[in-house]
Amino acid sequence: MHSGILVLDFGSQYTQLIARRLRELNVYSELLLFDEDIEKIRAKKPKGIILSGGPSSVFDPNAPQRDIKELAEIAPILGVCYGMQLISEQYGGKVEPANRREYGLNVIKWTSPIRNVPQQQKVWMSHGDVVEKVPEGFEVIASSNFDYPAALKSDRIWAFQFHPEVSHTENGIDLLRAFTFELCQAEPSWKADHIADILIEDLRKKIPQKEHVLCALSGGVDSTVVGTLLTKALGADRVSCVFVDTGMLRKNEFEDVLQVYKGLGLNVKGVNAEKTFLERLEGVEDPEKKRKIIGHTFIDVFKESIKDIGNVQWLAQGTLYPDVIESVSPRGTSVTIKSHHNVGGLPKDLDLKLVEPLRELFKDEVRELGEQLGIPRPVLWRHPFPGPGLAIRIMGAVNKEDLNILKEADAVFIQALKSHGLYEEIWQAFAVLLPVKTVGVQGDARTYDRVLALRAVTSRDGMTADWFDFPAAFLRDLSNRITNEVRGINRVVYDVTSKPPGTIEWE
């Protein structure tokens, strides 16, 4: 820690992303709760300390607090979002609710630009409070569109109202670089070029030689990397992979992906459980209930698989860090956004230990890991697909008829992206079937059919995302194809919501 940066978590959804960016700068970092004992912080001798954002207001009775001045005696400070407000409040400034909230993309103007950062900079904001009175000894060095302070500076403290750590803040990495190397004088001494070797060694230490692992495969990148990683670490004879057909996979996906798994040398068994999943989901509309039912049903399917396989002590899952921070509050202060079926531990009656080797990684890191493991690029760069599958892309109750409509429409969408060379420019693209019918005209006759929403976003790690700006001609042709080729749809709309304020998936 003596050459690195300490990150204190005040509950932001992006706290781990700060550490991720520091890794890119080859600087060691650690995450600790906001209220970590001051003596433990002193003992680590960090070169710098970053205060994360958070969902609270500094004037709320239960807002996370700590003495910033004693932290500044240890090392230079960078406050991000809530961190900036906390610094301002403690140093004699004033924070108040904003007349205009700032969420999503914003353009700030620098009066004292930091090296390599343009005078006008596109940044990502997510806050409802602002600094109304700047504390004495601090200078406003950047302002937002609404003329709110966007960046403050003193001798040993920097503060940004925006999030430099997210990929949609242009030159955000340059701001973190300037803080880390210029203000803090940290050293670029941390490297993880061989993360595959590190994880394989960890797995071999964690799982005793005579114990076996059941690996749950979803068809997505994450579980594919986990299955391959475990197989390389322990051998195919100790890793039994199960790929479940829930009935909510994309068109032809079960058969196609099963062949991919076999080509990777995985010891994989396909299980058709469509009937069970659909029966349990019948009439269920609430997305959280759907996710929990799917999670519990997966466990039941795995129980049956364990009976067939025998001698299994571990269950492996492809849980990523974004799954964790959206589902639970891992460090005590962040807000739960939505549950993920593979987050939250295992039921006691399953009698298995859980191994999640990707739990602290982001999607881009997982893809880098997959490349080290030799997984083919077309597999690694498939768009993310949620574990609950199409169940959370049907708004409302799930049934076979709606699934078939959605599968056909989604297949048309993805095929169009690939044929136009757009697939790899987009982080994730999918269709959503809405519980809405509208009047249409087809073949000179009145129709009363469903509405389909299309969603396509750019992102780097899934923590933030922006909608993809398609050419109008592409959307026009795609809409015509879907309404002509997919029975049951007579209207197509395109989602132009960023994350935040939305999430990537609709449920």
Give the per-residue SS3 of 177-215. HHHHHHHCCCCCCCCCCCHHHHHHHHHHHHCCCCCCEEE
In one letter, which amino acid is 245?
Answer: D
Given 81, 184, 215, 241, which residue is catalytic? 81
Check 127, 163, 168, 340 and give the catalytic one: 163
State how far the alpha carbon of 34 is from the alpha carbons of 156, 324, 334, in Å.
19, 19, 11
Do the beta carbons of residue 401 and residue 291 sit within 8 Å? no
The backbone region for 126, taken as left when phi is positive above 0, alpha when psi lies in -120 to 50, beta otherwise, is beta
CA distance 287 to 297: 15
Q: Is 165 a catalytic residue?
A: yes
Q: Is 81 annotated as catalytic?
A: yes
Q: Helix or strand or coil: residue 464?
A: coil
- Which of 89, 102, 165, 326 is catalytic? The answer is 165
Q: What is the b/e burial string over 42-52, where b = at least 16 CB atoms within 10 angstroms of the residue's CB?
A: eebebbbbbbb
Distance CA 345, CA 343 (A): 6
How far apart are the C-alpha atoms of 94 and 444, rounded to whole Å? 64
Nearest of 376, 58, 322, 24 to residue 177 by alpha carbon:
24
383 included as an active-site residue? no
User: Residue 48: beta bridge partners?
Assistant: 5
Pairing of β 213-217 and β 94-110: unpaired
Rounded CA gap, 268 and 262, in Å? 7
**Catalytic positions, written as ranges:** 81, 163, 165
